[in-house]
Amino acid sequence: MEYIDNKLTGNDKPAEYHRSIFVDIHCHCLPGIDDGPATMAEAISLCRLLVRDRIGTVIATPHQLGRFDTNNSNQKIKDKVSELNKQLQAAQIQLRVLPGGDVRIDERIVQLIKTGYVMTSADGGKYLLLELPENILINVDPLVEELSSIGIKTLITHPERHQFLAIQPQILSHLVQKGCGIQITAGSLLGKFGSISQTAAWQILSMPIPLIVATDSHGTSNRSPCMRAAFEMICRQSGENTARLVCIENPTRVVEGKELLEITGRKPKVGEYERIQDTSGKPATGQNRFNY
Ligand SMILES: [Fe+2]
């Protein structure tokens, strides 16, 4: 595996860009659509940073609903993604951008999915990235169940940055039992959102749940991508298998619409995590849990 040889350190060179290994399922990289980059030039700059961060595939997730309400439609996002991919190709930047949304909790979500307004992750109809308000605790069970009834699993975004979930991450176990996956932010693991979020992120990482790390990056300055640094820290603190699970395998499964794998604490059997060791495109083993 390339990672072992490269150590993910040192200066990147253009020739190394093809070694991208991470998949980022939460990123505000589309121009002029939300609080991400304002222009195409800024979006391209952010995409260059994503590539330098060893991200090869990114789901563009502009805000939908909430303060953006009905400004960002499914079709508008697809058009922006198409234009960005064209520009990336023209600039020979090796990044695949897929359409998605960062969807604020709203009682209309299922209805708006059916009418083609709200975007599922990678437009695959299997996962929905759900953003909660950070300072109140809402019972999301009815929405999670409603989404489940139409075959969509809920991915709860950055609970470690939530005022209540950060200090009671055990609540996440209930959400997982309801069928949710959990996404934490790479920057939280590194302390970029403060010590409470950082402590919560590491606590969540130790839980036996289907977990994903994503950048939730917004630009090239204060909220820039830091997947590599988070990956390296997870390798040191929790082991490389866990790092690969949350930064590569599970994000890939979101893109492919497959079941997420869980951290369980058991040692792996031979061949149980082959794609985590080799991201060259081999099919998954068919396991629906990742055990280590
Ligand atoms: Fe976001």
CA of 79 to the centre of ligand 1 (A): 19
Q: What is the pLDDT of residue 19?
A: 53
- Tell how far the Cα of 114 is from the centroid of ligand 1, in angstroms: 22
pLDDT of the residue at 265: 53
Instruction: Enumerate the β-bridge partners of residue 212.
Output: 183
pLDDT of residue 266: 44
Confirm whether 12 is domain-assigned: no
Give dist(CA 280, CA 117) in Å, integer: 34
Q: Cα–Cα distance between 62 and 43 in angstroms, integer?
A: 12
Is there a domain that residue 13 lies in?
A: no
- pLDDT score, position 228: 96
How far is the centre of ligand 1, averaged over its atoms, from the C-alpha of 26 (Å)? 6
How much distance in Å is there from the Cα of 49 to the middle of ligand 1? 17
As for how many domains the chain has, the answer is 1
Structure token pair of residue 86: 């064209």
Compute the distance between CA of residue 179 and CA of residue 183 in angstroms, rounded to an integer: 13
Residue 175 lies in a domain: yes
- Ligand 1: centre distance to CA 64 (Å): 10
Yes or no: say if 84 and 60 are a contact pair by the CB < 8 Å rule. yes
Domain-embedded: residue 7: no
Whether 14 is in a domain gets the answer: no
**What residue ranges of the chain have pLDDT lower than 70?**
1-20, 264-292
Domain for residue 189, yes or no?
Answer: yes
Q: Is residue 287 part of a domain?
A: no
pLDDT at 287 (0 to 100): 33
Residue 97: φ, ψ to 5°:
-105, 130
Q: How far is the CA of 170 from the centre of ligand 1 (A)?
A: 23
CATH value at residue 117: 3.20.20.140
Distance from residue 206's CA to the centre of ligand 1 (Å): 23
Confidence at residue 70, expressed as pLDDT on a 0 to 100 scale: 77
129 within domain boundaries: yes
Q: How far is the CA of 92 from the centre of ligand 1 (A)?
A: 26
Ligand 1 centre and the CA of 153: distance in Å? 18
Q: What is the pLDDT of residue 76?
A: 96
Distance 185 CA to ligand 1 centre (A): 9
Full residue range of the structural domain in which residue 222 is found: 19-277
pLDDT of residue 63: 97
